Amino acid sequence: MKKIVVLGSTGTIGRGVLDIVRAFPHDFKVVGLTTNTNIKLLKEQAAEFKPLDTGIGEKDLMKIATMKEADIIIVAVVGLSGLLPTLAAIRNGKDIAIATKEVLVVAGELVMKEVKKYNVHIIPIDSEHSAIFQCLRSGEGKEVNKIILTMGKGKIAAMKKEDLSSVTLEQITDRSVWKMGDKITIDSATCLNKSFEVIEARWLFDIKPSKIHIVVHPEYICHSMAEFVDGSIISEMGTPDMKRYIQFALFYPERKKMCVTQGIDITDKTLSFEKAPYDKFPGLKLGFDAIKKGGTMPAVMHGADESAVQAFLLKKITFVDISLIIQKTMKAHKVIQNPTLDKIISAEKWGQAYAKKLIDKKI
């Protein structure tokens, strides 16, 4: 029986994890749960799963992340609050199932060094990275020619470039697939989320940026691919349901029959792929720019995005201003190479502050 801790058990991913535990009660034991603010739901979860300990707010994350009884820590908290607990869990020899993208976006190089040092596994829950993780099991690292991240094509992507400045939050959140919170939905619309995924992939799979490619896949059936040196392309396909990826991460390296979501009938399905819209969405290039500069640049990019998205939500800036603010913030930053954790966190805060200045000055 695998003993698990869920950091962020009351969020979407955390609740999905507990759905899997309910479906496989003889395979998992919940030993720790945390929430940021949803205390009522945490109490209900604790009554049902009877963990050894629970935590509320960032102050308790470290304590729960380092529980000696745990085999695997599911990191599903919001934002940078997941960084220090993830590092602490790794240093305590715990395997990590990670859904909090900020951990690898902001400090991916540092985190992966610790993963190797302490000889633990880090299994992605994010759909594209889980897909690639699974595809790469078909060969060795030296046999990989490139990895191919897929991105969808929603209503915003179908708009003309000249119409993007008038895009509203209501238009962005009107999605038929992958229902998410406002922040990640906006990042998906600007393509910043895909840029973050490029940074994650760089460190998670220890792959050169030149070997990371992006294609548009409107049907949301293929969730990413890996091409090997012999020309073979391995893809991961299935229903766009995060519970598939959560289950894979929890059972890794085993597989079990899925019983909490439906499979997909590929009969009569169409698969199409298009070139990534770099010209229409400049945010799509920023992840490559960040990892090319290296050091503290990914942290600055993330910080600037935090401020820009918040300003858009407050209707202080337009949709197209988001990427522009991030670009200008990155251009102004003097990169620190091989940064310490403190330098990384400081750089992220600097990115937030500089972007806010641009916003206040009306860019």
232 among the known binding-site residues?
no
More confident residue, 264 or 275: 275
36 among the known binding-site residues?
no
Q: Out of 54-63, 73-82, 114-123, 257-266, which region has the weakest mean confidence (pLDDT)?
A: 257-266
Q: Return the pLDDT at 362.
A: 75
Both structure tokens of 262:
């439906």
119 among the known binding-site residues?
no
Is residue 36 included in any domain, yes or no? Answer: yes
Residue 257 above 70 pLDDT? yes
13 among the known binding-site residues?
yes
Q: Return the pLDDT at 177.
A: 60
Residue 178 above 70 pLDDT? no
Domain limits for position 96: 2-100
27 among the known binding-site residues?
no
CATH of the domain at 57: 3.40.50.720
Q: Return the pLDDT at 105.
A: 98
Q: Return the pLDDT at 51.
A: 98
Is residue 310 included in any domain, yes or no? Answer: no
pLDDT digits (tens, 9 = 90+) for 91-112: 999 999 999 999 999 999 999 9
pLDDT digits (tens, 9 = 90+) for 117-172: 999 999 999 999 999 999 999 999 999 999 999 999 888 888 899 989 889 988 88
More confident residue, 168 or 353: 353
11 among the known binding-site residues?
yes
44 among the known binding-site residues?
no
127 among the known binding-site residues?
yes
Is residue 31 included in any domain, yes or no? Answer: yes
Is residue 125 included in any domain, yes or no? Answer: no
126 among the known binding-site residues?
yes
Is residue 139 included in any domain, yes or no? Answer: no
Is residue 340 included in any domain, yes or no? Answer: no
Is residue 174 included in any domain, yes or no? Answer: no
Structural domains in the chain (count)? 1
Is residue 25 included in any domain, yes or no? Answer: yes
140 among the known binding-site residues?
no
